[in-house]
Amino acid sequence: MTGRRALAAAVAAATALALGACGAKGEQTGAGGGKPYVAIVSKGFQQQFWQAVKKGAEQEARRQNATISFEGPATESDVEAQVNMLANSIGRKPDAVGLAALDSRALEPYLRKAQRSGTPVVAFDSGVDSDIPVTTAATDNKAAAAEAAQHMAKAVGGKGKVALVVHSQTAGSGIDRRDGFTSWMKAHAPGVELLPVQYGGGDQTKSADITKAVIASNPDVKGIYGSNEGSAMGVIQGVKESGRKDIATVGFDSGQGQINAIEEGRMAGAITQNPVAIGRQVVRASVSAIEGRKLPEVIDTGYYWYDRRNIDDPRIRSVLYH
């Protein structure tokens, strides 16, 4: 069975499961035990970024006297696992759903299911190609990627080959962090030659292998950009294993490995989001939606560029999530 057919089969099976858990809310005891219950499905679980989002969600749940569940697939390329997680979450009849979608099209049936049952959906980390979410709590990924491109251009002296290792071509964050980076380069750094975009699924080992292959094919490459924590760590690892010290690397997110690489001079710098704030906003917006309050279309959770020069700035330290 092909990957596309397998995914379609998984979607069909999960849809049957979700639809089988029929009935209006209140027919069974909710998972919240009388408190507002928010089921949160993220893109991943193991990376420090997602653990920081979970931490923020838990903090806000305590403030709001709400109950949450938080889960995500082992890797950010496992769409099938996320489909099943979302189907199961909806089957538990939550009062609201928080969703960071890996593939909007694959998840669309469950968004419609939530809408029909009157369950508000709060998107986070990246937008969903749908008008069903009541709001999206996320970084302005295009603007953040443009800033990363600006610093990369400076690091390579405004000319030469630059490669991109991107975590997804279906998730909104991957698309925006790719397009924001490439658009800025094309408009402002004509001397930079962008190599074809490579996709590593946010997996560190796969991204490292891609990085080594790019370097082997393009020994004159001057810079490599990694679009999320796993991608950036893979780029750092791949450059190191290639024995190169003359390639500028720029990343996204701020796990401990990236912080170490920046402090040691192995990475020029990176964009840090505020994942704890993202988690807080998901729960806060969900409770507001449950209570029928109007929400803005987008909740901008902010970002910062950090490098060796400003990493000890209190504003930066407060959003690093090591």
171-209 pLDDT tens trace: 889 999 999 999 999 999 999 999 999 999 999 999 999
Does this model's pTM top 0.75? My answer is yes
Q: Which residue has the tokens 């596309």?
A: 4
Q: Average pLDDT of 13-38?
A: 53
Q: What percentage of residues in the chain have a pLDDT greater than 90?
A: 80
Domains of the chain: 9-138+275-301 (3.40.50.2300), 141-272 (3.40.50.2300)
Q: Average pLDDT of 263-282?
A: 95
pLDDT at 31: 60
C-alpha angle with apex 262: 258 to 268, nearest 5 degrees?
Answer: 110
C-alpha angle with apex 36: 81 to 76, nearest 5 degrees?
Answer: 20
Three-state SS for 203?
coil
Query: CA 112 to CA 86: how far, in whole Å?
Result: 12
Beta bridge partners of 252: 271
